[in-house]
Structure 1
Amino acid sequence: MQCPHFDAARCRSCTLLGRPYAEQLAAKAGHCADVLGERADLQWISPAASRESGFRNKAKMVVGGTAQRPTLGILDAEGTGVDLSDCGLYPPSLQACFPVLAAFVGQADLTPYDVSRRSGELKYLLVTESPDAELMLRFVLRSQEPVARIRKHLPALLRALPQLVVVSVNLLPEHKAVVEGDREILLTDEATLRMSVNGIDLYLRPQSFFQTNTEVAAALYRQARDWVDERGPASLWDLYCGVGGFALHCADPARDVTGIEVSGEAVASADLSRHQAGLGRVRFQVGDATAFAVGAASAPELVIVNPPRRGIGDRLGRWLESSSVQQVIYSSCNAESLARDLLAMPSLRPRRAQLLDMFPQTSHYEVLVLLERA
């Protein structure tokens, strides 16, 4: 992928952009294998490659400049906005909406937040695109002051972008290095964005998490589903389930499936999918994954875990080790924390693994590992 911003050193977020893609993929596979260590009984499946460009389904655009001449992209070392509306990581359909959004910033007089002066209102525009090219837009603001102006001009924006189905405001009053705050104000009647993955409808609410690369996420869910179906467990937990991607893919009339997620927004989304699909033996519950497992009266036959970068932690690892769980499918975005977690459950041996390139042009990746009780 050729990028004028990388070549001009305006943006170096794609740290591997100068390397051929095949070389990137091989290096990631080698790194992951090195971190997990030599394991004679571990079978590595061929890596799941991604498109090299146009693969991102979401954009986190820092808003810089002025209301009348905003930049959508990043800030440089001096805090000046660098416009990345033409970034090659975004598909053309997503790129096409950015000029419309920039014009709306001026129309609604949304002053970009100045980091150095700690003044202004609009911090980010967060845009997510579904496989059907529908959009969710979130304005991350410092306060509610501009909300009335956004509401006033929103009908014009919806006419200009008819694919825009969900719009909200997120309030982030603090000056700190996070993308969003706790409070969300919905501005449209529609509250969810439908993401169809492998023929299964997942629903995103404004504060729900979904993988950045829809095509590779689909491959991730298919591989986990295949491993589950091969083993045919009667009971399964999906811990850190998010909007229910793994749980819904692994649903079966002969299987009890429970998804646990700390985000109430994500559980509401997963429940909507479950209800629409008529899955009577699938349930979702708001809760901490570790607390749920440790406090459960009995264990399932198989557990899927998809934790954040820090991993599942020692307490959940020790519980899995001492439990009657026969198989664990571990989806990790951080091989180092995965390797550390494996030490806490030595009886659960890695048997199969696959690297999935969720983040081309960077050193990041996802790895899926099947563990079986020795």
Structure 2
Amino acid sequence: MHCSYFAAERCRSCALMEQPYDEQLAAKQSHVARALDDRGDLAWLPPLVSRESGFRNKAKMVVGGTAAQPMLGILDAAGRGVDLQDCGLYTPAIHACFPVLADFISRAGLTPYDVPGRTGELKYLIVTESPDGELMLRFVLRSQESVSRIRKHLPELLAALPQLEVVSVNLHPEHKATVEGEREIVLTAQETLRMRVNGLDMYLRPQSFFQTNTEVAAALYRRARDWVTELAPASVWDLYCGVGGFALHCAAPGRDVLGIEISPEAIASAELSAREAGLEGLDFRVGDATAFAVGARQAPELVIVNPPRRGLGDELSRWLEASSVRQVIYSSCHSGSLARDLAAMPSLRPRRARLLDMFPQTRHYEVLTLLERA
């Protein structure tokens, strides 16, 4: 894949941009094999490849420049905006909406936030596309000062982007290196974006998490579902369940599946999906994964974990090691934290694994591993 931004050194985020894709995959496979301490008894499925471009279903665009001439992209080393509207990683639908959004910023008079000067209002635009081509748009603002203008001009934006289903404002008053704040103001009647994956409807609210590569995410859920079907556990926990992707895919008659997630919005979405699909035996609860597991009276037969990049941590890893859990399906986006967690639970040995290339052109990837008690 050729990228003019990379060649001009305007953006170097995709560190592997000039490396052939097959070499990227081979290097990632070698890296994760070392992290899992593959001693020859680990069965590897072939790596799951991704499209090299047009695969990202979510864009987090820094807004720079001025209201009259906004730039959508990233910040440079000096904290100034670099326009990346022609970035080839995003889906065609997201790519096509950038000029419309830039025009909206100008018409609504939204002043981009100047990081060095700490002035202005609009920090980010976050755009997400569903598998059906519908869009969610979030304006990350410093304050509520611009909300009335966004409301005033919103009908024009909805007319220009008829696929836009959910629009919200996120308030992020602090000057800090995070993308969003805690408070969300939904501006449309619809509050959730339907993410149809493998025949299941999942629902994404503005502050909920979903994998950025829909096709690879669908394959990730199918692989976990196939392993659970083969193992046929009577009870499953899905820790860090998010909007319920793994739990919903693993539901089956006679099986109790419990999903735990810290985000109330994500749990509300998971419960909606379960109701609409008519799935029985599913229970979703708001809570911290580690606190829930450590405080539970009884462990399930199988646990699915999909932690953030920092991994499970020592306490949850030690709990799994000492528990009666027979199998763990571990979905990881960081092989370093995965290796640390595996070292803390030596009796749960990796038996099967698959690299899923969720993030082409970068060194990042997802790996799904089946651990069985020795």
**TM-score bracket relative to the smaller structure:** over 0.9
Distance, in Å, in 2 between the alignment partners of 1:39 and 1:124 is 46
| Partner residue in 2 for 1:77 | 77
Alignment size in residue pairs: 374
Q: CA deviation at 1:75?
A: 1.7
Q: What secondary structure sits across from 2:166 in the alignment?
A: strand
Q: CA deviation at 1:280?
A: 2.4
Larger deviation, residues 320-329 vs 113-122: 320-329
| Partner residue in 2 for 1:32 | 32
| Partner residue in 2 for 1:314 | 314
| Partner residue in 2 for 1:10 | 10
| Partner residue in 2 for 1:221 | 221
Tell me the alpha carbon deviations over residues 128-180 of structure 1, each in whole angstroms, 9 at most, x when there is no partner. Answer: 00011100000000000000000000011001100000000000000000000
Q: CA deviation at 1:365?
A: 0.4
| Partner residue in 2 for 1:305 | 305
Contact persistence 2:251–2:280 (CA under 8 A): no
Contact persistence 2:243–2:269 (CA under 8 A): yes
Distance, in Å, in 1 between the alignment partners of 2:360 and 2:222 is 20
What TM-score do the two structures reach when normalised by structure 2? 0.99
Q: CA deviation at 1:78?
A: 2.5
Q: CA deviation at 1:314?
A: 1.1
Letter in 2 for 1:334: H
Q: CA deviation at 1:5?
A: 0.7
| Partner residue in 1 for 2:65 | 65
Distance, in Å, in 1 between the alignment partners of 2:325 and 2:153 is 54
- Kindly report structure 1 stretches of 4+ aligned residues shifted beyond 6 Å: none
Distance, in Å, in 2 between the alignment partners of 1:319 and 1:164 is 44
Is residue 2:269 matched to residue 1:253?
A: no
Distance, in Å, in 1 between the alignment partners of 2:39 and 2:165 is 48
Q: CA deviation at 1:345?
A: 1.1
| Partner residue in 1 for 2:152 | 152
| Partner residue in 2 for 1:373 | 373
Q: What secondary structure sits across from 1:51 in the alignment?
A: coil
Is residue 2:138 matched to residue 1:138?
A: yes
Distance, in Å, in 1 between the alignment partners of 2:320 and 2:119 is 49
Distance, in Å, in 2 between the alignment partners of 1:78 and 1:250 is 47
Q: CA RMSD in A?
A: 0.7
Q: CA deviation at 1:200?
A: 0.8
Q: What secondary structure sits across from 2:45 in the alignment?
A: strand
Distance, in Å, in 2 between the alignment partners of 1:78 and 1:71 is 15
Q: What secondary structure sits across from 1:169 in the alignment?
A: strand
Q: CA deviation at 1:104?
A: 0.4
Is residue 2:56 matched to residue 1:56?
A: yes
Aligned pairs for 1:355-374 (under 5 A) are 355-374=355-374
| Partner residue in 2 for 1:204 | 204
Q: What secondary structure sits across from 1:273 in the alignment?
A: helix
Distance, in Å, in 2 between the alignment partners of 1:267 and 1:260 is 8
Tell me the alpha carbon deviations over residues 308-353 of structure 1, each in whole angstroms, 9 at most, x when there is no partner. Answer: 0111111111111111111000000111111110111111111001
Aligned pairs for 1:64-143 (under 5 A) are 64-143=64-143
Tell me the alpha carbon deviations over residues 207-227 of structure 1, each in whole angstroms, 9 at most, x when there is no partner. Answer: 000000000001110110010
Q: What secondary structure sits across from 1:271 in the alignment?
A: helix
Q: What secondary structure sits across from 2:174 in the alignment?
A: coil
Larger deviation, residues 33-42 vs 7-16: 33-42
Q: CA deviation at 1:253?
A: 1.2
Distance, in Å, in 2 between the alignment partners of 1:373 and 1:8 is 51
Contact persistence 2:57–2:130 (CA under 8 A): yes
Give percent identity, aligned residues only. Answer: 75
Q: CA deviation at 1:254?
A: 1.5
Q: What secondary structure sits across from 1:246 in the alignment?
A: helix
Q: What secondary structure sits across from 1:107 in the alignment?
A: helix
| Partner residue in 2 for 1:183 | 183
Distance, in Å, in 2 between the alignment partners of 1:342 and 1:249 is 25
Q: CA deviation at 1:90?
A: 1.0
| Partner residue in 1 for 2:333 | 333
Q: What secondary structure sits across from 1:46 in the alignment?
A: coil
Distance, in Å, in 2 between the alignment partners of 1:32 and 1:280 is 36
Q: CA deviation at 1:304?
A: 0.1
